[in-house]
Amino acid sequence: MESAIPAHLRVARRCPLAMPDDHQPPFPAWTARFSSLTGQVVMAYFGIQAATAIAPAALHAVTGRFSSPYAPAHWDLAAYIDDAGFHNLVAIAYWPSPQQFERWKTSSLFSAWWHAAEREAGEYGYFLEVVSPQADSFETIFSDRASPEGVASLAEGMSGEMQEHGYWGSARDRLPRAQIDALSGSATAPSATRTGKRVVLAGRENLCLIRSGQDWSATQQQERQKYLSEVEPVLREGMHFLRDSGHTIGCLNCRYMQVLDVNSHALMEKTFGLAHFSDMAALELWAKSHPTHVAIFGGFMRYVQELNFNIALRLWHEIVVVPATAQHFEYINCHANTGLLRQIGGESL
């Protein structure tokens, strides 16, 4: 069994491990392995918003550019309805470096399209949320090593079975930077710059983002029924708590999204929660002690135990802790509760 932190990112630890002595994980899990040359990567969320249902073609001005030079190495398409009842369609794209991302924005003419005055008119709102973590500032975990998702699509492969999982605090133990940094966040909301119907938010120090996914496409009969009737409703309730009331515990925004096939645009049997927390400690506190996550964790453990740990459900997540200087959040013509806009309050754009 190996450590989640690769050898080239291990340093003399100043922050203690949470892993108990002689810990034996209750089930296998893996993490993505990246080249030792991997530096800063880009995770970009391109969104479109409307009061009524949105056809995927409405986002083609973005996704149609993903086949141009310097295109993302991987991208997903997802949809959700937010707490204001607005429909949202989002393309989530990953680049191996900020330089390649910037070249794509320029060469594809995305920047010209994004900054055009026409974006501020019409029925749609638009948002662009970008975090660019260093390789030591994100971690991943997978229940199936053959099914990479998200940033793992940029990786060289998967680890062997890893030790740091199955106990509270394991995510921090897997995060290389947490060996020497407490990853404390900002106490105050970021400033905002408004120009017409556009708002750009300043970064927030050590913002913590988690994208946590579920794929039940391979499940059959008993397991499928069990997931959809016993596990998913509890998960949805927890995601909606974070969406509606998460501000009381340090969650700045949460979206529970369903994945669409990027070619056919059909709904897939895959969902994920995307949440931003004020820092990693806020995420950990919710995960360890809040009744909504205790119910999610308890329901999942019953699920795997009743199936004798032989499950086809695929689970994964990526957690990112990023400095203020490596964030960009921009909203055009969006309602006031969109994404991280709710931090600053105020009227719709």
Q: Which residues are catalytic, by number?
A: 317
Task: Check: CB of residue 279 under 8 Å from CB of residue 206.
Answer: yes
Helix, strand, coil share of the chain (percent; to 5): 35, 30, 40
Pairing of strands 192-195, 198-201: antiparallel
Polymer length in residues for the chain: 349
270: its two tokens: 């895959």
Conformation bin of residue 130: beta by default, left when phi > 0, alpha when psi is -120 to 50: beta
d(CA 336, CA 176): 35
Q: Would you call 7 helix, strand, or coil by DSSP?
A: helix
115: exposed, middle or buried (C-beta count within 10 Å: 0-12, 13-18, 19+)?
A: exposed
Task: Check: CB of residue 185 under 8 Å from CB of residue 278.
Answer: yes
Place of tokens 């948002």: 127
